[in-house]
């Protein structure tokens, strides 16, 4: 049901334009110079154009995409620019061939759905949960989920290992994680 709602929302150009604006607002709000994001799958927001605009505004900025080294291992993030050659990696997802590891200060995470507590529903592979759990505390990135408003729910059943995101960005708003 959420996948269908996301696919329908993603097909609306106005939603994608608004989501790109909010993504850039989030980057401005946090003032970071390195960002990790994701290669889009069907129905996921394609952040490449917005990230390209962000990169072009300052030569010191860098972006990166995840690389799956092993299915049960945390993700690595490798440098990406709009001209970086790509290869098909695990799960038939594009990965940069740069080989240069980047430690992002802010990490955009795709969401199938999200709730009002900052938890996300992904595809169930656990890659982002595993990656964030293994991240050293001193370099842990700001986590920003990218979702469509149609995929917002009141609450998910979440497990002990699930980590709430710092912010969720949709085409309608920016939702910071509530303070407990």
Q: What phi and psi, each to the nearest 5 degrees, are found at residue 9?
A: -65, -40
118 labeled part of a ligand binding site: no
43 labeled part of a ligand binding site: no
Alpha helices (H) along the chain: 2-10, 13-30, 48-56, 127-134
127 labeled part of a ligand binding site: yes
125 labeled part of a ligand binding site: yes
119 labeled part of a ligand binding site: no
122 labeled part of a ligand binding site: yes
Residue keyed to tokens 């709000």: 29
44 labeled part of a ligand binding site: yes
Could you tell me the two tokens for 88?
């098909």
Report d(CA 169, CA 72) in Å as an integer. Answer: 28
* Cross-strand bridge partners of residue 145: 109, 168
Report d(CA 140, CA 169) in Å as an integer. Answer: 19
Which residues are known binding-site members for substrate? 44
**Binding site membership: which residues?**
44, 120-128
> Which residue ranges are tagged as binding site for ATP?
120-128
């Amino acid at each position: 049901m959420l996948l269908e709602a996301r696919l329908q929302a993603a097909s609306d150009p106005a939603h994608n334009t608004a989501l790109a604006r909010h993504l850039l607002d989030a980057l401005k709000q946090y003032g970071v110079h390195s960002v990790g994001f994701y290669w889009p799958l069907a129905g996921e927001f394609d952040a490449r154009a917005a990230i390209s605009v962000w990169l072009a505004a300052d030569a010191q900025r860098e972006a990166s995409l995840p690389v799956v080294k092993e299915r049960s291992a945390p993700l690595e993030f490798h440098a990406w620019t709009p001209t970086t050659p790509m290869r098909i990696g695990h799960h038939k997802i594009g990965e940069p061939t740069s080989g240069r590891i980047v430690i992002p200060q802010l990490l955009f995470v795709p969401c199938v759905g999200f709730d009002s507590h900052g938890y996300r529903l992904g595809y169930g592979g656990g890659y982002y949960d595993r990656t964030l759990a293994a991240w050293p505390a001193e370099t842990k990135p700001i986590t920003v989920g990218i979702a469509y408003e149609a995929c917002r729910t009141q609450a998910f059943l979440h497990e002990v290992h699930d980590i709430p995101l710092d912010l969720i960005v949709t085409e309608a708003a920016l939702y910071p994680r509530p303070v407990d």
